[in-house]
Amino acid sequence: MSGFSKREEGFESKFAFDAEKRFRAEARRNKLLAEWFGGKAKLDSAGIDAYAQELTAHDLRKVGDADVAAKLAADLKSKGITVGDQEIRSEMERCLRTAFEAVANGT
């Protein structure tokens, strides 16, 4: 194997590793968002778990975070809870930071 091939293989491995890490962090973020939503909507732990699965499935259908933010906003509104877009975005960023830290620490 040439040096170039080894280097290319290394880049492919890093890309796959980073993609998996991102996926795990986003799934964990969605769980944290479901807990945040559950606190506002007064869901029990089973409801929070169900919402986390629903949110993750929704997130997988479309690339990007806008769809997750829109779902959170619509679901909060349907429960009669008023939360601004900025608060939702801030919570999404906070949860993603926390999730990346947890994934990086292996927890």
CATH number for the domain harbouring residue 25: 1.10.790.20
Specify the pLDDT at position 15.
60
Domain enclosing residue 58, as ranges: 3-105
User: For residues 33 and 68, what is the distance between their CA atoms, to the nearest angstrom?
Assistant: 10
User: For residues 90 and 72, what is the distance between their CA atoms, to the nearest angstrom?
Assistant: 13
The CB density around residue 29, as the number of other CB atoms within 10 Å, is 27
Average confidence (pLDDT) over 15-40:
88
pLDDT tier at 75 (50, 70, 90 boundaries)? very high
User: For residues 107 and 85, what is the distance between their CA atoms, to the nearest angstrom?
Assistant: 30
Specify the pLDDT at position 72.
97
Q: How many domains does the chain have?
A: 1
